[in-house]
Homo-oligomer: A and B are copies of this chain.
Amino acid sequence: MSQVEIKAYGAKANDADLEQLAIQRREVLPNDVKIDILYCGVCHSDIHQVRNDWGNSKYPVVPGHEIIGRVVEAGDSVSKFKEGDLVGVGCMVDSCQECDSCKEGLEQYCENGMVGTYNGKDEHLGGHTFGGYSESVVVREEFVLKVPENIDAKGAAPLLCAGITTWSPLRHWKVKEGDKVGVIGLGGLGHMGVKFAAALGAKVVMITTSPDKSEDAKKLGAHEVLISKDKEQMKAHAASFDFLLNTVPVKHDLNPYLNLLKRDATMVLVGAIEPLEEMHGGLLIGKRRTVAGSVIGGIPETQEMLDFCGEHNIVSDIEMIDMQNINKAFERVTKSDVKYRFVIDMKSLKN
């Protein structure tokens, strides 16, 4: 397998500071698409991986799984893409394509393990995969998404992770017009949850600990704001929600939120990949409520989401940065000081 050396940004050792690196990309195989990266979103996972918070990082880490770019080369067998197409790559670049999950278009649950866009196992070059904080990327066509030309390409980058992570559960649990949907937490994920739930015709309630987020939540499409620290407000909304999308990314108490669900309604966790505080069994049993989890989304539903965004002109609210300011951006993400996603302008990598 031939290799091509390209510029990227990443961490060489187990520390939080990213710097310019040279990395290898494979040459284009018959089934591959080569993409020049225009923009890449900054996901909180990028920081966790750079800092080895989950204990499974491989260095050098080149983060980035919210990639938008243009096709510059398509392999001989590629049928869906041609040079010049605006495309996206999300959290996965490969999967077995043979297990039940893959066959159902749920590659994120591949029973043989999907290959992460970075820090995944690179079957071609050996070692591990490198992400989107780089000039270009080579990906098999099954994991490349078409991005509608009518939406802002910069704001489209976070759709590939924050977008699909909230879209997938809203669709899987069949949120529909008129449903009362609560989105818990207003960050990168939450702001997309509000936009999508509103666009699907739901009555959207932003549930947040911070009264100062009310105005923003309403601008994003929330019809109402519920301050979760206010016991009276929480009581007034008890047993009234058809669906709750819980985007809180840290350990927290589920019980006050469970009490908001109607009989047979579901709260889906998309943020907290860690132990949660003690959940009260009676809150589930008394109204046949359910708590579920969901991770990103499969390729077909990611394409469905992008098409929906094209039809409804939906993108993420973003703040653009140059590659050279990535370490400062990481610090601000850690403090939740961003509305609502940083996106790197990859032109700056050429400076």
Contact = CB atoms under 8 A, between A and B. Distances in A.
Given A109-B288, A274-B281, 6 more contacts: A269-B281, A272-B285, A273-B281, A288-B294, A288-B295, A290-B290
A246 to B, nearest CB: 9
Closest 9 CB pairs between A and B?
Answer: A284-B293, A285-B293, A272-B281, A290-B292, A275-B278, A273-B282, A290-B290, A109-B263, A285-B295
A292 to B, nearest CB: 4
Contact of A279 (B273, B279, B286, B289): B279
Interface centre among A277, A278, A285 (most CB of B within 10 A): A285
B263 A285 contact: no
Contacts of A282: 273-274, 293
Interface in A15-49: none
Contacts of A291: 284, 290-292
A262 to B, nearest CB: 9
A265 to B, nearest CB: 11
A101 B288 CA distance: 12
A270 interface: yes
A287 B278 CA distance: 21
Contacts of A235: none
A292 B281 contact: no
A273 B290 contact: no
Given A285-B295, A292-B289, A295-B286, A276 B279 contact: yes
Given A263-B101, A263-B109, A288 B278 contact: no
Nearest to A252: B281
Nearest to A274: B281
Interface string A284-312: 11111111111100000000000000000
A106 B282 CA distance: 17
A172 interface: yes
Given A101-B263, A275-B279, A279-B279, A292 B284 contact: yes
A287 B294 CA distance: 7
Contacts of A283: 293
A248 to B, nearest CB: 9
Interface centre among A276, A279, A293 (most CB of B within 10 A): A293
A52 to B, nearest CB: 17
A290 B173 CA distance: 12
A280 interface: yes
A266 interface: yes
Nearest to A284: B293
Interface in A94-121: 101, 106, 109, 111
